[in-house]
Structure 1
Amino acid sequence: MVNADRAQQSVECEATARPSSRSLRGLDALNFLMADVRDGLGPFLSVYLKGTQHWSSGNIGLVMAASGIAAAICQIPAGLIVDAVRVKRLLIAISGLLVAAGCILIAFFPKLPTVLAAQITLGAASAIIPPCLAALSLGVVGHRLMPARISRNEGFNHAGNFTAAILAGGLGQYVGVKWLFYLVCAFAIASALVVLLINPKEINHELARGADSTSNETTRHNPLSFSALWKKRDLKVFIVSVMLFHFGNAAMLPLAGQVIAKVHPGMDVIALSACVIAAQLVMVAVAAGVGRALRRGIGRKSIFLVALAVLPVRGVLFSMTSSPYAVVLIQLLDGIAAGIFGVIGVVIASDVMRGTGRFNLAQGLMALAVGIGAALSNVTGGYVVEKFGFASGFLTLAAISVFALVFFAVFMPETRPDDDAEAAPDARPSELISARN
């Protein structure tokens, strides 16, 4: 009876403060623009440094690793900072401007110390941006509408990635690789300006850190202690599941690219570009589909199990072909798995951390698990391929994916809260785009 009263109170509390259409469209635009910004220059930097600046492979590897290491180190501190501060709009604007400054520095001063410092800055900024976006979303719409909001965020994120990939391909091919720096810089500055659309008065910073729906701005929520947090079994199972998901997934596309480069020289760049663009298009549709599934009351666990089930199928199919056309088609499965994870991972983290005041710390833990899983995937996949061949490498990753599926199915409970079940039929997309009454 107490839980039912609390659920009803949560729904009524969140229903009293509908966000304005301006703030919601600000979130839309921010997710679209930040899609390109938070990943920085990515693999295009190595192309620029090797092809234009004639750097050695060793120095290129050093600066590329610096960004990843900085991002990994900053994940948990970034989550703690986002949980603690109430200037989240300023924080995300500063992160965007830091990315812009880093791109300009690399473009005009492509020397090792400058590029190394810029890459470390980009890595730190990339650790801040995802939890900040999630926190702003939760603070604006609340727990009840969070699943629909995250689905919408991911749709705009993938649309932004697709647009950036098209623009980057055109600029790199017809104008010059250096213009890619200006593209990322323009997106970063635009994102810093777009954040002003979000009304600061509509951000409940207690909700944004994962406090209960009944919390308000006048009542400071005491976050759960680290020792108590570590005792949460569902959090530990979820973090391990995220790591295993990326352990089985991350190395598949790079290995497929190596297969194409070996068997069909000259087609690897075109095929990989086609893979990225095709997968992003699928992710847009999948993100919307996950949002509809959540509104219909389908459990978070069931949806994530679909993503986990796709991975071993993809690994087995990759082991059976070297055709670049087949690789592109198989990569569409990654659009399904990654599209589901992009939405459901944040939703489960929000469920698990509800009432703890540590939502963004969980975001940092999740991002760290992604990095560890990806690193293990690439090291393991590369070693197996070197010793036993590409087919064995793909089958090994498929076997790890099966283990991830079984682990999550057996140990992870359903996290969908009771009040979400009651509110789900009302959580329509129109609530995320309609103006305040």
Structure 2
Amino acid sequence: MNTAASTVPGRRALEALNFFAADVQAGIGPFLGVFLQARGWHTGDIGAVMTLAGVIGMLATAPAGVLVDDTRRKRGLVVASCLLTTVASALLWISPSMLAVVASQIATALSGAALGPALAGITLGMVRKAGFDHQFGRNQAFNHAGNVIGAGLSGIFAWRFGFVAVFVLAVLFAGLAIVSVLLIPSRVIDHRAARGWEQPSANDDRMSGFRVLLICKPLLILSCALLLFHLANAAMLPLYGMAVVAAHQGNPALFTAATIVVAQVVMVAMSMLAIGWMRKHGHWFVLLLTFIALPVRCVVAAHLIKSWGVWPVQALDGIGAGLQSVAVPAMVASLLQGTGRVNAGQGAVMTMQGIGAALSPLLGGAIADVFGFRAAFLLLGAIAVAALVLWCGCARMLRHERDAYSMS
């Protein structure tokens, strides 16, 4: 255990913040489709709104990262994001009209885009680079645990009391997240360290945020590999859910909650394991495991279109997502240490992930319409293999990430 990080005041509040922020980042997203469907929305309209929200969130992540680097009000940014999500949830419940739903999802996307870099920046500012890998791994374990509890409670309460319970829980978690971030003493956040400037003598203006991202070749490789990963991964659960639910009738809210809980439980374990594996084997190795897990997941999905198949399919998702949630921010922080643009880098990588995630349902859905679900899963698996090949092909550069980084 990292003893320096464990003695930082506010660490427990930081972990509580990550627990409650899980529901804030997701909003009612996992339940949005079935909620709108119950209100008479057509599948095409639901998909269009979800795509719009994904695109907005994708475009906002890089600027949000730059904002986190430049502001000293990181706690205030978290509070604003939580309040925005609360307003978005209330708006969606009051009026599920097209205008209200679009506005709600845009607000939720902007909130989620700001929260990711903000939580990473606050963590780096509190524990510095030496304690970041360990603490961020703990943060993600709490975050995934928050997803498990939030999804489980939402599914059970929605089944018992209706969808209003999902909205009430979203507001409750947002309020608790605000309390948690305010319990972090502002004095413990070193804003220079939070953006990757450990030494006071660092030249604050030597390079803009976006230029440093383009010059760091390992970061570009990481971003491209993650784009391919999410292009293959994002459509998996919606397609698999449609394939299974179409053949096996059940309560939509409970089924949605079950798919989330299976993956998130595995993610909690993977987040904790990632801490030791990164220390022992490095970031490249931990991410290699995620690039291996995804093609296996695609093949399993293609051959197990059954109700119980959700267990292995979502467990494999938990392995990939759980390890990536820790290793990707840790690798970005390592690559950009000393540039003062760590959070801009986090935002840029999230944007690349968002591009893949936004295009994935479009590609997967089109293939499924023409050739069926099995063909769609196998095509997504081929894209996952391409990501694995890229990652392994650039292993020499990525495994020596500190030596590989250079600026001109």
The one of 166, 171, 176 aligned to 1:180:
166
Which whole-Å deviations, capped at 9, do the CAs of 1:21-41 have from their partners, x for residues lacking one?
541001100000000001111
Which whole-Å deviations, capped at 9, do the CAs of 1:180-216 have from their partners, x for residues lacking one?
11210111111112111111111111111122x3348
Structure number with larger C-alpha Rg: 1
The one of 106, 126, 132 aligned to 2:92:
106
Cα 1:151–1:232, aligned 2, differ >3 Å: closer, same or farther?
A: same
Matches of 1:141 and 1:166, distance apart in 2: 32
2:154 and 2:257 in contact (8 A); partners too: no
What TM-score, normalized by structure 1, do the two folds share? 0.85
1:47 aligns with 34
Which whole-Å deviations, capped at 9, do the CAs of 1:198-257 have from their partners, x for residues lacking one?
11111111111122x3348xx773362333441221111111011011112222222221
Alignment of structure 1 residues 126-275 onto 2, 5 Å? 126-211=112-197, 213-215=198-200, 221-222=204-205, 224-225=207-208, 226-266=210-250, 270-275=254-259
> Where do 5+ consecutive residues of structure 1 fail to align?
1-13, 419-437
Amino acid at match of 2:28: L
Amino acid at match of 2:103: A
1:257 and 1:268 in contact (8 A); partners too: no
Cα 1:229–1:341, aligned 2, differ >3 Å: closer, same or farther?
A: closer
The one of 260, 265, 279 aligned to 1:276:
260
Amino acid at match of 1:24: R
> Where do 5+ consecutive residues of structure 2 fail to align?
404-408
1:19 and 1:202 in contact (8 A); partners too: no
2:156 and 2:254 in contact (8 A); partners too: no
Matches of 1:181 and 1:308, distance apart in 2: 35
Cα 1:309–1:363, aligned 2, differ >3 Å: closer, same or farther?
A: same
Matches of 1:328 and 1:174, distance apart in 2: 24
Alpha-carbon distance, 1:62 to partner: 4.6
- Please identify, of 269-278 and 65-74, the stretch whose mean Cα deviation from structure 2 is larger: 269-278
Matches of 1:142 and 1:77, distance apart in 2: 23
Amino acid at match of 2:385: V
Amino acid at match of 1:322: I
Which whole-Å deviations, capped at 9, do the CAs of 1:136-195 have from their partners, x for residues lacking one?
000000101111011101100010000001110122111120221121011111111211
**2:11 is the alignment partner of 1:24:** yes
Cα 1:178–1:204, aligned 2, differ >3 Å: closer, same or farther?
A: same
1:10 aligns with none
SS in 1 for 2:26: coil
Which whole-Å deviations, capped at 9, do the CAs of 1:33-81 have from their partners, x for residues lacking one?
0000011110323333332x43455554454344223212211111111
Amino acid at match of 2:235: A
Which whole-Å deviations, capped at 9, do the CAs of 1:379-411 have from their partners, x for residues lacking one?
222222222222221111111111111101112
SS in 1 for 2:399: coil
Matches of 1:42 and 1:416, distance apart in 2: 35
Matches of 1:267 and 1:50, distance apart in 2: 13
1:345 aligns with 328
Over aligned residues, Cα RMSD in angstroms? 2.3
SS in 2 for 1:375: helix
1:83 and 1:358 in contact (8 A); partners too: yes
- Please identify, of 344-353 and 65-74, the stretch whose mean Cα deviation from structure 2 is larger: 65-74
Cα 1:243–1:18, aligned 2, differ >3 Å: closer, same or farther?
A: closer
2:335 and 2:402 in contact (8 A); partners too: no
2:61 aligns with 75
Amino acid at match of 2:261: I
2:406 aligns with none
SS in 2 for 1:319: helix
Which whole-Å deviations, capped at 9, do the CAs of 1:276-299 have from their partners, x for residues lacking one?
21111111111111112223x211
Which whole-Å deviations, capped at 9, do the CAs of 1:65-110 have from their partners, x for residues lacking one?
4422321221111111111000101111111111112222222344
Matches of 1:317 and 1:268, distance apart in 2: 23
Matches of 1:322 and 1:235, distance apart in 2: 37
Alpha-carbon distance, 1:18 to partner: 6.0
1:64 aligns with 50
Q: Percent identity at matched positions?
A: 36
Matches of 1:319 and 1:112, distance apart in 2: 35
What TM-score, normalized by structure 2, do the two folds share? 0.91
1:75 and 1:368 in contact (8 A); partners too: yes
SS in 1 for 2:303: coil
Amino acid at match of 1:304: L
Amino acid at match of 1:402: V
Amino acid at match of 2:301: F
1:353 and 1:362 in contact (8 A); partners too: yes
Cα 1:271–1:184, aligned 2, differ >3 Å: closer, same or farther?
A: closer
1:395 aligns with 378
